[in-house]
Amino acid sequence: MELKRVVVTGMGALTPLGNNVPDFWNALVGGVSGADFIKSFDVSKFKTKFGCELKNFDPVDFLDKKEARKLDRFTQTALVASDQAVQDAGISKENVDPDRVGVIFASGIGGLITFQNEVMDFAKGDGTPRFNPFFIPKMILDIAAGHISMRHGFRGPNFAVVSACASSTNAIISAATEIKLGRADIILTGGSESVISEAGVGGFNAMKALSERNDDPKTASRPFDKDRDGFVMGEGAGVLILEELEHAKARGAKIYCEIAGGGASADAYHITAPHPEGLGAKNVMIAALRDAGMALTDIDYINVHGTSTPLGDLAETKAIQEVFGDHAYNLNISSTKSMTGHLLGAAGVIEAIACIMAVQTDIIPPTINHFTDDPELDPKLNFTFNKAQKRSVNAALSNTFGFGGHNASVIVKKFVD
């Protein structure tokens, strides 16, 4: 069968840099750090006291107060971002068939804050099981997809995807596949995450995964810098409207870009550490290029996973050089996590939006907070350090890797009819 073409016709985002796509993108290009000391709970006894929290976000500005109380923060942000994306795409009851519009949404962890608070409240009591009746529906990973569909009346394919920090990239790939196969006209896809909490920060601290640069939070996320010491936790949500090309054209939708292809792989190596030679990262980029039917030289920009961990940044760089060979030196590479922090399950879609905007504007967002070259990294690679760069961007590749050895990559390219 002939596969359908998939384009992006709408976007929405809540990020530590801005509560919509234009503000997010302007901050990225400007090299703004979203990191600061955590304000949502008392961090005085924690090893890491900072993160990339949302700024000036109150869910009741967007959602009914009573309804908002029934939702974990990861679902609240998902709904707000979905509202933005639906409006941006110009979707209405008059121009779509709701039975042909689906939601495939992701989170790496889901309602951790709800889970933490319910268990802590129970532990403080006398042992009598008094739990909020919305405890389970607030916590489960699939509930964001369910609420998005109910809010907008979309009755097409609906499910959740979870693969740790690769989750929302895998959701995008799954959504594109549904449309390519003709199973839906439109899919809302992306991810959300909100685990900046005692359990979230404490758990990642115990793994020694987080930066502990408490003296200078804004420069703590340092991908590819010699002195990087771990990632900075972020929160937020992103939504893409993926649409079958002819359907988009028929309703006069604006088209941001085309989803060229995607790939997935496993390291099959370790629960948290990447394969030291970047084998899974290498395989997933090759798979994405093969799926897109693209040559190495077609890629202009890679938004890397680049979390600012000593092992991860090195392994990914090795993989890029092995896959792209001499063309690696023609690429722009950057880690926008240097500004947003690591949004875990929402990282993939937020970084896909960065790639889409790079394709749209021919601007590469920088990797900020570079102070000292790492002698283990090839100095001839262009990591787009500290300042955005202008260049023609016809196609961009986004990498996301998750605990458990999950890898996913997606390629977006300029739309040509």
Instruction: Give the other-Cβ count within 10 Å of 222's Cβ.
Output: 26
Q: Is 52 a catalytic residue?
A: no
Q: Do residues 49 and 38 lie in contact, with contact meaning Cβ atoms separated by under 8 Å? A: yes
Distance CA 403, CA 341 (A): 17
Distance CA 226, CA 169 (A): 28
Distance CA 259, CA 254 (A): 15
Q: Is 342 a catalytic residue?
A: yes
Residue type, 300: D
Distance CA 406, CA 224 (A): 21
What are the residues whose beta carbons fall under 8 Å from the beta carbon of 67, sequence distance 6 or more? none
**Helix (H), strand (E) at residue 120:** helix 112-124
Q: What residues pair up with 410 in beta bridges, in sequence order?
A: 262, 398
DSSP E strands, 68-143? 101-106
Task: Look at the alpha carbons of 304, 181, 415, 330 in this order and tell me if their dihedral is positive or negative.
Answer: positive
Distance CA 199, CA 205 (A): 10
Q: Is 327 a catalytic residue?
A: no
Print burial letters for 87-125: b (CB count within 10 Å at least 16), e (below 16).
ebbebeeeebeeebbbbbbbbbbbbbbbbbbbeeeeeee
Distance CA 398, CA 281 (A): 11
* Residue owning tokens 């202009």: 300
Distance CA 187, CA 243 (A): 7
Residue type, 58: D
Considering 52, 165, 257, 355, which one is annotated as catalytic?
165
Distance CA 63, CA 56 (A): 15
Considering 147, 342, 370, 406, which one is annotated as catalytic?
342
Nearest to 146 by CA among 59, 89, 95, 70: 70
Nearest to 378 by CA among 296, 321, 337: 321
379 DSSP assignment: T
* Residue owning tokens 């890797």: 401
Rg (CA), the chain: 20
Considering 305, 355, 370, 406, which one is annotated as catalytic?
305
- Residues known to be catalytic: 165, 305, 342
